[in-house]
Amino acid sequence: MIVLGAGISGLSVAWYLNRTDYPMDITVIEKNSRAGGWLHTEHMQDFHFEKGPRTFKVDKCPSTMQLVRELGMANEIIWTQLKPHHRYLWLNEELHRFPTNPLSFCLSPLTRGFISAIFSEWKKPPKEGDETVWEFVLRRFNYDVARLFFDPMVVGIFGGDIREISVRACFPMLKSWEEKYGCVTKGFLHHWNEKRKRSKYSADVSGLPLSAIFSFKKGIEELPQTVMAKTPASYHFNQDVQRICIKDNKVEVMTQDRIFYADVLFCALPIKETSQLFEPLVPDISREFLKVPSEGIAVLNFGYDSEVLPVQGFGYLTPTHAQEEILGVVFDSSVFPQHNKRPQETRLTIKMEERGREDAWYIDAGLRGIRKHLGISCTPNAISFKRALRAIPQYGVGHLEKILNLKDEFNKRLPRCFLVGNYLKGVNVDQCIARAKEAVGEWEKNASLL
């Protein structure tokens, strides 16, 4: 077996292959010098910095929780004690806290449009088919809900444009509520009532609330590092895959140094690299893959030797119409004080759109932004910067159906090759783990035929 890519998708494939009943040798090939991909924890000047994903929410990541249990990592989990997890929105030149109880919901300037929408949404007829998040929210709710709630969420989660992103792909539950119950409000109430009947604690980790936001003692990168350490495989780093061939029922993978051979290949590379590698074998499918755009994110980490935050909580987002250089800020030292190294310290992660500018431009923009939004004018004691190029595939209208059809056609023509990655069905870590497990299951069903 060959697995291309040692990010969480590729490592999860290797893990689940090892849990099958088939004896095999597994080779994992990675272009970079480390495993983990976008899951990257850095320690600089005794500050704990996360360069990519940084948190999991228990009830939103069932595949991750199962993997944590299988790896025996329950004792490595840390979870935030913040109650409630205050989040803020930059609106009209000041920070506004999102409401956390019925009274604040009624009084907040952020929810005025929501209140009127709740009482009228159930009257609106459902609509079949996919559409953009913007179109869906305008149709079911109103302009204020789209502008103040969903726009910042789309920017914060998907790094994309609410007027381009597919609602079926990015908010599938909302669309399914409309289709099943006729309106989102009724679907939410039914879901809330069913949720009340279930246990409030994880079935995988004893004593861990479903509402908990968690990480690991050594940071997010502890997850891929543990998967790698506990997965018997041959790992090859700094190997740039240049060509894939299929000859005599064997897959050949050529890098700059050597040729690897296997019966089956799992490709866990980003969509652009996947498209380029398979272009000689399935040119029409590769061309369609290349049409899927991806957005990059610039990530800044600031560390301070003192407490400089004027508010506590999870962080804040800026809506598109505010036209701020900063997309959002996470208050890492508040979310996980377990990672703090000093009695008083502040750690911030600032996210911006990657525009191909010099590093210094992003640092200056970050400093300007937090001075304006948070009143922090002192110089950080530590600054770290990373570009996540093409990190987030953009799921346009019809993406899920199109990708499923392309993937099925790909498997018909290349039955020895399987695709995994964040461009298939879900961009977050949990969805990548789930897709990896599914890919291994698909191979198991056809293993006797290969």
Query: Does 83 score more than 80 pLDDT?
Result: no
Give the Cβ contact number of residue 122 at 10 Å: 14
Identify the band that residue 157 occupies on the pLDDT scale cut at 50, 70 and 90.
confident
The predicted pLDDT at position 7 comes to 96
Identify the band that residue 41 occupies on the pLDDT scale cut at 50, 70 and 90.
very high
Domains 2-37+221-293+395-449 and 40-58+70-100+212-219+294-393 share a fold: no
From 369, 372, 378, 364, select the one nearest 305 (Cα to Cα): 378
Tell how far CA 334 is from the center of its chain. 21
Q: What percent of the chain has pLDDT over 90?
A: 81
Q: Determine which helix (DSSP H) or strand (DSSP E) holds 402, and give its type and residue range.
A: helix 399-413
Mean pLDDT, the chain, whole residue set: 93
Q: What percent of the chain has pLDDT over 70?
A: 99
Tell how far CA 253 is from the center of its chain. 29
Burial zone of 211 (CB within 10 Å; 0-12 exposed, 13-18 middle, 19+ buried)? middle
Between 29-43, 103-117, 315-329, the lowest mean confidence (pLDDT) is in 103-117
Helix-strand-coil percent breakdown of the chain, rounded to 5? 40, 25, 35
From 383, 377, 397, select the one nearest 348 (Cα to Cα): 383
The per-residue pLDDT for range 342-394, each reduced to its tens digit, is 999 999 999 999 999 999 999 999 999 999 999 999 999 999 999 988 889 99
Specify the CATH number of the domain 2-37+221-293+395-449. 3.50.50.60
Measure the CA–CA gap between 229 and 73, rounded to whole angstroms: 12
Superfamily of domain covering 40-58+70-100+212-219+294-393: Protoporphyrinogen oxidase, mitochondrial; domain 2 (3.90.660.20)
Query: Does 119 score more than 90 pLDDT?
Result: no
Q: Which residue intervals of 297-344 are DSSP H helices? A: 332-335
Two tokens at 177? 């509520």
Measure the CA–CA gap between 281 and 401, rounded to whole angstroms: 22
The predicted pLDDT at position 82 comes to 63
**Are the C-beta atoms of 305 and 133 separated by less than 8 Å?**
no
Tell me the torsion sign for CA atoms 125, 126, 131, 136: positive
Measure the CA–CA gap between 444 and 427, rounded to whole angstroms: 25
Identify the band that residue 118 occupies on the pLDDT scale cut at 50, 70 and 90.
confident
Identify the band that residue 449 occupies on the pLDDT scale cut at 50, 70 and 90.
low
User: Which pTM was predicted?
Assistant: 0.94
Superfamily of domain covering 111-197: protoporphyrinogen ix oxidase, domain 3 (1.10.3110.10)
Mean pLDDT of 390-419: 95
Query: Does 99 score more than 90 pLDDT?
Result: no
The predicted pLDDT at position 448 comes to 65
- State how far the alpha carbon of 149 is from the alpha carbons of 112, 175, 313, 371, in Å: 11, 16, 18, 24
Measure the CA–CA gap between 266 and 411, rounded to whole angstroms: 11
Query: Does 305 score more than 80 pLDDT?
Result: yes
From 228, 221, 226, select the one nearest 13 (Cα to Cα): 228
The predicted pLDDT at position 450 comes to 62
From 47, 45, 54, select the one nearest 315 (Cα to Cα): 54
Mean pLDDT of 252-267: 96
What is the residue extent of each domain of the chain?
2-37+221-293+395-449, 40-58+70-100+212-219+294-393, 111-197
pLDDT, greater one: 81 or 415 = 415
Between 98-107, 237-246, 275-284, the lowest mean confidence (pLDDT) is in 98-107
Measure the CA–CA gap between 288 and 102, rounded to whole angstroms: 47
CA R_g for the chain: 23
308: left (phi over 0), alpha (psi -120 to 50) or beta: alpha
Measure the CA–CA gap between 160 and 169, rounded to whole angstroms: 13
Q: Determine which helix (DSSP H) or strand (DSSP E) holds 364, and give its type and residue range.
A: helix 359-374
**Are the C-beta atoms of 363 and 328 separated by less than 8 Å?**
no
